Every structure is written in C-alpha cells, then in structure tokens.
A and B are shown apart, each in its own frame.
Chain A
Amino acid sequence: MKFGVIRFPGSCDDVDALQAAQRVGGAVLLWHADRDLQGVDAVIVPGGFSYGDYLRAGAIARFAPVMEEVAEFAREGGLVLGVCNGFQVLCEAGLLPGALLPNVSLKFVFRQVELEVTNADTPFTRACARGERLSIPVKHTTGRYYAPPDQLDWLEAEDRVLLRYASGHNPNGSLRDIAGVCNEAGNVFGLMPHPEHAVDALTGSTDGLKIFESIRADVADRGLLRVASSPAVR
C-alpha cells in the first residue's frame, strides 16, 4: 500500500500526513508541479496555506498540474483524502460539494474537538463504528462548511456526511455540524479536523489513525478484488 501526499508551495502538514500514513503503509511526497502520481494507491491533499491562500483558500491550488492527475485518479475510483486546506482545495476543484467559509468567530481556532462518526460504511471510516466519537484537533480560520440547504438535504439523504462535530464542539459555525463529507461515488473525502495530528498518544489521541487504517484496509480489499477478478477479464 502506497500513499501519496501532495506538497504545494505553502503546504505545512504534508510531513505530518506522510508520517501518519507511514504508520499504516508506505508513503511518498508528490510535488504540485508534477503530473506523476507515482502509482500510489491513495492520495492525501494535506493542510496548510497552498499558494498563500490568495483569493480564496484552495482557489489557486486546484489549478496545479498535479490536481489534473488527482481528478483523473478520482474519476477512476482512486481514494482521495483532503484535510483542512486539502478539503478546501477539493471543494474548489469541484471534487467535493460545498465550500468552506471564514469561521463565524472570524478567529483562528486551534483545539481538540470531539467528532461523531455518522457513516462508518465508507473507505475512510470503516475502521470506526457508527456513532463512535473521535478526538481530533482542528486548526483553521476558514472552516465553516457551507452548501445550499437543498444540497445539504441531499448529502444527508445519501449518507455522505461521514463526520460531524459532536454537540457543543462545532468550532467554526459549519452548517449542520458537518466536519467531513464525501463525493457521490464515495471515493473522495474531505474534512477540516486533522487526523494526521492525532496518531500518537504523546499528543493526546490516536483516533486519527483510524482514518488511515480505514484507507489501508480498503485498498487491501481492492487489491484482493483486483486479483480475484483479473482472470475473468481475459
């Protein structure tokens, strides 16, 4: 299993994401200007301030050469995880629904929050149980999830809200306490909290590992399926 973590100018959580991924599998950094995903099994778009957050967070990073490859990879069913700025980039790129707006407080928030797993039947949350609470930090200024009400209804009806802030833990005014959503096909997932910062007991929680373990397990299953189905292809 090989993760690929994208590094944009201004990324700052790329190394943490790389090291978190390396706890469950192999991982390499992918440069924003390259069009080569190096055969990775899953892509992580990390947090930070890609291209200085100029114009809008994520607005310019979506046009990076590597993002064309990520879009193609996603179209083919590859797993893509966007964290914080990565979530913003995926929304701007149209790979995820909605947008992230400035926090209602207009302040930078940096704290541990409790999340509730609202759908555990996905490649990104399968190591969790539905209703389980995860303790994972947030750190952002632009994290208020927004989508028009009819789109929110649709996301909920399709069970595409995978994580919500637990009651009293919404740090940014996200509509319906949404912390993370996936695309229609279920293979692209974005969230504002940072699972890569919750992988070692030293920093208070290892709950973030469950996201990486979920991806590893899913890729492993896909590998088995590929092997199992390959003779039938010919």
Chain B
Amino acid sequence: MRARVLVRPKEGILDPQGQAVERALPALGFSGVRNVHVGRLIELDVEDTSRLPEMCERLLANPLIEDYEIVDYESGGDGK
C-alpha cells in the first residue's frame, strides 16, 4: 500500500515556523488566516500496514513533540 504519514507539532508547543508563515500571509493580501502549523509529509510503500503505527512511534515522529496521522494514499481514506 502507498501510505502517507502526516506529522505535525503537538498542540500547545510553540511553533515558530507556523507563526512565521502566518505572519507572512497578510503581507501578501491573504487575511483571515489563523492557526498555521508546519509539519512533515512522509510517503512510503509498505507491505504490512499494521506496522505503520510502530514505525511512526519509533522513527517517523517523536511522540513527545509531534502527532502523526496515517493516511491511505490510494483510497484516500484512513489507513488504520
């Protein structure tokens, strides 16, 4: 299966990258944008999708500071 893992900073942790983007948008005339957060997208082909959560916990994300979400790339649904 082709999978996507979305990794984002945990809520409540200061995200200066998100803030920088949020501050830049009004300068380009895009108003009304809030709560911008910048994370990572990891795409991978996996034979055994049941192992994806463990991959996320141990390497793809750092659960102390990041949340992750596994998305089934092909069907567009939740891969869990």
Contact = CB atoms under 8 A, between A and B. Distances in A.
Nearest to A173: B14
Contact of A102 (B16, B59, B60, B64): B16
B20 interface: yes
Given A59-B59, A173-B16, 11 more contacts: A55-B60, A60-B59, A98-B64, A101-B14, A101-B65, A103-B16, A104-B14, A104-B16, A144-B14, A146-B65, A173-B14
A144 B13 CA distance: 11
Contact of A99 (B16, B20, B65): B65
B62 interface: yes
Contacts of B64: 98-99, 146-148
A98 B14 CA distance: 15
Interface of B: 13-14, 16-17, 20, 59-60, 62, 64-65
A105 B16 contact: yes
Interface residues of A, number: 19
A55 B65 CA distance: 13
A103 B16 CA distance: 8
18 contacts: A55-B60, A59-B59, A60-B59, A99-B62, A99-B64, A101-B13, A101-B14, A102-B16, A103-B16, A104-B14, A104-B16, A105-B16, A106-B16, A106-B20, A144-B14, A146-B13, A147-B64, A148-B64
Nearest to B13: A146
B14 A92 contact: no
Contacts of B17: 102, 106
Contacts of A104: 14, 16
A56 interface: yes
A98 B13 CA distance: 13
Contacts of B65: 99, 101, 146
